Homo-oligomer: A and B are copies of this chain.
Amino acid sequence: MVMRWAEGFIAVDWGTSNRRAWRLSPGGEVAGEMEDDQGILAVAEGGFPAAVAQIRARLGDLPMLMAGMIGSNRGWIEAPYVRCPAGPGDLAERLCWIEGERAAIVPGVAFDSGGVADVMRGEEVQLLGAHAKGWIGADSTLCHPGTHNKWVRLEGGRIAAFRTVMTGELFNLLKEHSILADLLAGPVEPGAAFEAGVRHGLERDDLTAEIFSVRARVLLGKAPAGEAGAYLSGLLIGADLKVGLRLAGEGEIVAMGRPDLTRLFAAALAVAGRPAREVDGDAAFLAGAWHLVELVR
């Protein structure tokens, strides 16, 4: 039998608002990449074959492995969730094949236990890729900041449990549409205001009141307007850590994802007294895509 996808393939992280794609050579090197705003919500019903053709027109007429919201009920074809514990073998076995095995969608992962229900789509490829590369241990705790931060327990190299915290989306909603919007235009940097926010979020449980206080303190001259964004970011991340650290074992936490976000989470973990290490999400995604394809060759 001929080895599947021996000519290399295109790995696509296809989200709600954006998509990114990389061409991987037969040996696994990156031979091309693209990014645009054709997330699944920008694709009209029935438009996915054409949207996929666009990617091949730019990166080559190759097989494609896709992950993320492309497998949701709003995407191309719904790829049912795999339940935790979910390892690379479970995902490979449940790949959703299409186009006569010229393309496959990675299933998302679901957690449903003890009254907690949760779902992920896309992060699972990064998690398993980072483990396949030895960047994270078989038994470890990660956070994956983004629109929705995921806290994940890996056990025996499989995703054992996870919890999503809506930190990124809440910050963006407040920044774009709330009464705080004019205070949040500036960049967010780690520093004293960020750390004060983290401490408040970790130690107190009055988040929805403290969000308004950010504005009140500026109005009353108790805090400079320029620090409001950093404080609010710290506050939301501190509240996020309070939830996530309950899932964590002893020892280091790995923050994986976009470097501008993992940097903030690492700074917040330092405030919480937890050692943190950052792993680049793109590199982990490519490693995970490669690993999954190897498992089905």
Question: A110 to chain B: which residues have CB within 8 Å?
Answer: 216, 220
Question: A116 to chain B: which residues have CB within 8 Å?
Answer: 213
Q: CB of A163 within 8 A of chain B?
A: yes
- CB atoms of A239 and B166 under 8 A apart: no
Contact of A207 among B112, B208, B222 (CB under 8 A): B208
- CB atoms of B216 and A164 under 8 A apart: yes
The answer for the CA separation of A259 and B290 in the assembled complex, in Å, is: 59
* Number of A residues, CB within 8 Å of B: 42
Spell out A's residues near B (CB within 8 Å).
16, 73, 81, 110, 112, 116-119, 147-148, 163-167, 169-170, 173-174, 176-179, 205-209, 211-213, 216-217, 219-220, 222, 236, 239-240, 242-243
A–B pairs, 26, beta carbons within 8 Å = A73-B219, A81-B220, A110-B216, A112-B220, A116-B213, A118-B216, A119-B216, A119-B219, A164-B209, A164-B212, A164-B216, A165-B208, A165-B212, A166-B209, A166-B211, A166-B212, A173-B173, A177-B177, A205-B242, A206-B243, A207-B207, A207-B208, A207-B239, A208-B239, A208-B240, A208-B243
